[in-house]
């Protein structure tokens, strides 16, 4: 390592069966990490080699790599912002604070060895591997030696400052989460000042992808709504939305369709499914050729393709019954969050699991859990957001205490359906396998709550960068926490994969999500509620929303995933950038004008971002902020632009209120049973 330079890290992976830090590591699906035991599944590997990214400047970097003056306060930013330079990690950039601290401490250690003429032990894992011959103090001039000593002391002081702000009850990944939220806050504030549509895009990103709640005034119910409230609601101990499979829907007889669904266009369906293992499968054609049974078709075909039916002894008829029952519990009248989306996410997860970097990393049970989670992750979605359910005091919001309302409901319905007649596809799993699978599925589906996005991103990026700095570029994945973290982010990536697909497919998905947003906005307008960001069909800028969505949400996530599996996701990143450029080229020069009834707000009411803290410091007055380096979890508080209510043409609101419960997925249900 050069004076004041960066710590080098090895990219070599330890041979199978060797000790790592004095411990032979393995991972057992049913029992967790087991010291000294070999993996029970010979196809599963506890490690993942982190290969270097491409040379700087080859692709557009996300906002996470821009300067953040609050954290990059050290006089020697090179050892953190470009902290890994070796044969395996050529100038990989480090942006998560904990990894930066580790990189800085390694730099301090190296400099200390030079300044004190203490030889570095060759056997230690912290020794540079494949680096240049070490320097000694005699090789440095007095001036250079003094400068190196000052820089080393300043670097150590910076590390101490960061460590002193840590709170023992918080994870180190929260350092990255807080930093990323602060950087996103700065980006969104700038975007909101540019135009009215930029303000709306900023508000949408903030309200959807940051873990916070809108503060809204819920309008008093009218006479018709009060009448509805008098009706007996479903008991709180019931799972709403569960219904029986219609007669004749269940497969019968000895003939099993080739792709799990009855269709007279099986040859065309087969040609489309030739791309089942490829990124960018045209799921719309699959739906067309399968009689709108895309989820049943994809789930059955993938389970057969991966031999999960054989491995876990799943009766074929039971699998067919469950897939059809599950698909029937997705709402066909919901524009985006329907069975077509579930099929797309499941197929995307299937492809991500097969990426070469993850070859033989996950066990069959983990693969089964990930695919099942993708299949059920939006079941019985009512086509409105969590915040809409909270703001309208829905039964679901009350049942789940406003926390990941829809995600908890999707899980409950998905598992409840296993109790229906001939639907238990996991009937031949052992008790321990069922418990493990259920835990993994719950973790993965809850991670699809978009308000958890920034924390998920920070967790993954911290894990990857920390391993690059400390573990010779090998992510061992020898414990449940690390393994489920990769799987959670994998399903999350699949859920946010529309912008990475071919443009023709991406545009169809965009039309569908905007239609769903606008439907929610119409319902909010009819109720006299504040219209949610990007849900006002009169003012939303579709093109600008997609550019902001990619720049601040999708690109940073996929950039991190690409670092994890490099170089396997490079084509995906390239498609993402091309799609972003396409939408950017079509951003109108001026923001859309609101209708006459909705006048433009005065400038002082433009969307404002202020960083506050969830926990006030002891003895501190509310509203007085601690130093930027404090590690309290930040949240964004804003003064939203409220669209004045207007009376839309057509039926009066009360005629549609009768449909609210059914549309929100709050129909009759079955008593909760133990799965």
Residues with a catalytic annotation lie at 337
**H/E element holding 162?**
helix 142-164
Per 3-state DSSP, the chain is made up of helix, strand and coil in percentages (nearest 5) of 50, 5, 50
Beta bridge partners of 610: 637
Token pair, residue 592, equals 């859309």
**H/E element holding 226?**
helix 223-230
By DSSP bridging, strand 634-637 and strand 610-613 are antiparallel
Report how far residue 242's alpha carbon sits from residue 215's, in angstroms, rounded to the nearest whole number.
32
Measure CA 405 to chain center. Answer: 17
Prior bond of 199 cis (ω within 30°): no
Beta bridge partners of 23: 20
Report how far residue 346's alpha carbon sits from residue 464's, in angstroms, rounded to the nearest whole number.
25
Measure CA 486 to chain center. Answer: 10
Report how far residue 623's alpha carbon sits from residue 632's, in angstroms, rounded to the nearest whole number.
14
Residue 126: Cβ within 10 Å count: 13
Query: With 0-12 CB in 10 A as exposed, 13-18 as middle and 19+ as buried, what is 159?
Result: buried
Report how far residue 572's alpha carbon sits from residue 630's, in angstroms, rounded to the nearest whole number.
36
Residue 645: Cβ within 10 Å count: 17
By DSSP bridging, strand 238-240 and strand 669-671 are antiparallel
By DSSP bridging, strand 610-613 and strand 32-33 are unpaired
Token pair, residue 497, equals 């994969």
**H/E element holding 634?**
strand 634-637
Token pair, residue 489, equals 């982010």
Q: What is the CA radius of gyration of the chain?
A: 27
Can you tell me whether residue 276 is helix, strand or coil? coil
Q: What is the DSSP letter of 669?
A: E
Which residue, 651, 653, 649, 650, is CA-closest to 528? 653
């Amino acid at each position: 390592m050069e004076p004041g330079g960066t710590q080098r890290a090895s990219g070599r992976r330890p041979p199978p069966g060797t000790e790592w830090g004095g411990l032979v590591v393995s991972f057992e699906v049913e029992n967790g990490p087991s010291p000294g035991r070999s993996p029970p599944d010979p196809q599963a590997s506890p490690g993942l080699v982190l290969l270097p990214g491409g040379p700087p400047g080859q692709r557009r970097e996300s906002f996470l790599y821009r300067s953040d003056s609050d954290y990059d306060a050290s006089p020697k930013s090179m050892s953190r912002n470009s902290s890994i330079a070796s044969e395996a990690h050529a100038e990989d950039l480090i942006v998560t604070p904990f990894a930066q601290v580790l990189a800085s401490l390694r730099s301090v250690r190296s400099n200390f060895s030079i300044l004190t003429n203490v030889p570095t032990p060759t056997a230690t894992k912290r020794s540079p591997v494949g680096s240049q011959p070490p320097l000694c103090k005699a090789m440095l001039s007095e001036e250079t030696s003094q400068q190196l000593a000052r820089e080393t002391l300043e670097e150590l002081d910076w590390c101490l400052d960061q460590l002193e702000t840590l709170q023992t009850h918080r994870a180190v990944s929260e350092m990255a989460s807080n930093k990323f939220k602060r950087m996103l806050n700065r980006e969104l504030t700038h975007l909101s000042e540019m135009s009215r549509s930029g303000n709306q895009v900023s508000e949408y990103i903030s309200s959807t992808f940051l873990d916070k709640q809108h503060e809204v005034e819920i309008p008093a119910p009218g006479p018709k709504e009060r009448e509805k409230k008098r009706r007996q609601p479903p008991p709180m101990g019931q799972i709403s939305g569960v219904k029986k499979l219609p007669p004749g829907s269940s497969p019968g007889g000895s003939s099993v369709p080739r792709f799990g669904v009855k269709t007279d266009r099986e040859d065309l369906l087969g040609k489309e499914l030739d791309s089942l293992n490829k990124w960018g499968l045209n799921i719309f054609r699959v739906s067309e050729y399968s009689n709108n049974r895309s989820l049943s078709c994809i789930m059955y075909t993938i389970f057969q393709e991966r031999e999960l039916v054989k491995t876990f002894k799943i009766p074929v008829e039971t699998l067919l019954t469950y897939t059809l029952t599950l698909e029937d519990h997705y709402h066909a009248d919901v524009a985006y969050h329907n069975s077509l989306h579930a099929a797309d996410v499941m197929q995307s997860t299937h492809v991500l699991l097969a990426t070469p970097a993850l070859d033989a990393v996950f066990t069959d049970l983990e693969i089964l859990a990930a695919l099942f989670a993708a299949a059920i992750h939006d079941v019985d979605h009512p086509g409105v957001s969590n915040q809409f359910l909270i703001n309208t005091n829905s039964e679901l919001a009350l049942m789940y205490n406003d926390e990941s309302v829809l995600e908890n409901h999707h899980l409950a319905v998905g598992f409840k359906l296993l109790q229906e007649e001939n639907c238990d596809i996991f009937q031949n799993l052992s008790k321990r396998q069922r418990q493990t699978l259920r835990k993994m599925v719950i973790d993965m589906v809850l991670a699809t709550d978009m308000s958890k996005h920034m924390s998920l991103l920070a967790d993954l990026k911290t894990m990857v960068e920390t391993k690059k700095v400390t573990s010779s570029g090998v992510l061992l994945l020898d414990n449940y926490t690390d393994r489920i973290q990769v799987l959670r982010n994998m399903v999350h990536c699949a859920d946010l994969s529309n912008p990475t697909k071919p443009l023709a497919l991406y545009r169809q998905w965009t039309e569908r999500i905007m239609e769903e947003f606008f439907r929610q906005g119409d319902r909010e307008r009819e109720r006299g509620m504040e219209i949610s960001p990007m849900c006002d069909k009169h003012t939303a800028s579709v093109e600008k929303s997609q550019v902001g969505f990619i720049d601040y949400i999708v690109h940073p996530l996929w950039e991190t995933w690409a670092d994890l599996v490099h170089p396997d996701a490079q084509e995906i990143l390239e498609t993402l950038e091309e799609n972003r450029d396409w939408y950017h080229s079509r951003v109108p020069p001026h923001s859309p004008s609101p209708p006459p009834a909705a006048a433009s707000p005065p400038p002082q009411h433009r969307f404002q971002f202020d960083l506050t803290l969830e926990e006030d410091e002891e003895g501190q007055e509310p509203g007085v902020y601690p130093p930027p380096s404090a590690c309290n979890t930040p949240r964004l508080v804003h003064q939203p632009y409220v669209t004045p209510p207007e009376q839309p043409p057509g039926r009066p609101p009360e005629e549609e209120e009768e449909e609210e419960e059914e549309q929100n997925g709050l129909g009759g249900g079955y008593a909760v049973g133990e799965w």
